[in-house]
Amino acid sequence: MSKLVSDGLTKSFGDLKVLENVHLTIEDGEFVALVGPSGCGKTTFLRTVAGLESADEGAIYLNEHQITGPGRDRGFVFQQDSLLPWRTVMENTVVGLELAGKLNGAEAERVRALLDLVGLGGFENYYPRQLSGGMRQRVNLARALAIDPKVLLMDEPFSALDAQTREIMQAELQRVWEEGRKTVLFVTHQIDEAVFLADRVLVFARRPGRLLEDIRIDLPRPRNMATKRRPEFVALVDRIWKLIEKDVRESVLIEKI
């Protein structure tokens, strides 16, 4: 069981209230997407779950344990892949195990299988600069999976990729997730990406950042390209867009001033 609970999380940077009283519960094995206008605190929320930021009020609990710092029960997949350029694909992927002092032959074999799973078999000895953007994000994902976390935290992992690669990565992520069924928190700006991947889409509002709506996505799995053309899919995307449209316009206008 790995239930994730945010109990009245509130967080400010100086005078700016970034998150206000966020209450939510994420069940074991659920794939949850977070969408919302720029600056509504999605990254801050994810970083707090990761233990990289601390809460001002309220707390995050993973299996009833309060989160106070980073830990290997949570794997973070960064927007920029942050692969260490002096390490090969394999060395980058095992880094979490290495830091924990848990790297051994059996674990290395498991990581090798993981690289196969994300489609990087045969690239173990490549350096990051020798990889395409899509491949680097696969390493980024494999690195987070390698520590076998209870929760996978993903902050716009595909935003730097071109549209085609992105579609492929969405399908790949779904496939990888079906294999392990980890709890996933996935931040994205693409509403269709959120609806395509998630069991639930959490819609955030800004100023202050707060949970606006919690929308269940009951589209059958596995989902594919055809799913994106189904009327239910289109209706869900439309509904979520309408929820944040006003906020997004505001955020764009404010940022322009």
Ligand X SMILES: Nc1ncnc2c1ncn2[C@@H]1O[C@H](COP(=O)(O)OP(=O)(O)OP(=O)(O)O)[C@@H](O)[C@H]1O
Q: Interface residues with another protein (CB under 8 A)?
A: 50-52, 70-72, 74, 76, 78, 80, 82, 84-87, 95-96, 98-100, 127-129, 147
Residue nearest to Mg ion (CB): 43
* Binding partner selected for residue 41 from ligand X, Mg ion, another protein, none, CB under the kind-specific 5 to 8 Å limit: ligand X
CB 146 within 8 A of CB 94: yes
227's CB contacts (< 8 A; 6+ apart) are 196, 219, 233
* Binding partner selected for residue 127 from another protein, ligand X, Mg ion, none, CB under the kind-specific 5 to 8 Å limit: another protein
Residue 57 is given by DSSP the state E
* Binding partner selected for residue 108 from Mg ion, another protein, ligand X, none, CB under the kind-specific 5 to 8 Å limit: none
DSSP secondary structure string, 66-127?
Answer: EP-S--TTEEEE-SS----TTS-HHHHHTHHHHHTT---HHHHHHHHHHHHHTT-TT-TT--
Which residue of 9, 18, 62, 244 would you call a contact of ligand X, by CB under 6 A? 18
Stretch in the footprint of ligand X (CB under 6 A) among 31-39, 100-108, 134-142, 232-240? 31-39
Cross-strand partners of 59? 7
Q: CA-to-CA distance for 89 and 122, rounded, in angstroms?
A: 10
Q: Which is nearer to ligand X, 30 or 155 (CB)?
A: 155
CB 185 within 8 A of CB 49: yes
Q: Which is nearer to another protein, 88 or 251 (CB)?
A: 88
- Please state the closest distance from residue 154 (CB atom) to ligand X, in A: 12
Q: CA-to-CA distance for 111 and 219, rounded, in angstroms?
A: 32
* Region of residue 41 (phi > 0: left; psi between -120 and 50: alpha; otherwise: beta): left
- Please state the closest distance from residue 195 (CB atom) to another protein, in A: 27
CB 49 within 8 A of CB 153: yes
Q: Which is nearer to ligand X, 94 or 191 (CB)?
A: 191
Which residue of 4, 26, 32, 40 would you call a contact of ligand X, by CB under 6 A? 40
- Please state the closest distance from residue 100 (CB atom) to Mg ion, in A: 27
CB 5 within 8 A of CB 24: yes
Q: Which is nearer to another protein, 129 or 242 (CB)?
A: 129
Contact flag: residue 6 with Mg ion (CB under 5 A)? no
* Binding partner selected for residue 76 from Mg ion, another protein, ligand X, none, CB under the kind-specific 5 to 8 Å limit: another protein
Contact flag: residue 39 with ligand X (CB under 6 A)? yes
SS3 content of the chain, % helix, strand, coil (to 5): 40, 25, 35
CB 51 within 8 A of CB 74: yes
* Binding partner selected for residue 147 from ligand X, another protein, Mg ion, none, CB under the kind-specific 5 to 8 Å limit: another protein
- Please state the closest distance from residue 72 (CB atom) to another protein, in A: 6
Contact flag: residue 43 with ligand X (CB under 6 A)? yes
How crowded is residue 217: how many other Cβ atoms within 10 Å of its Cβ? 20
Binding stretches for ligand X (CB under 6 A): 13, 16, 18, 36, 38-44
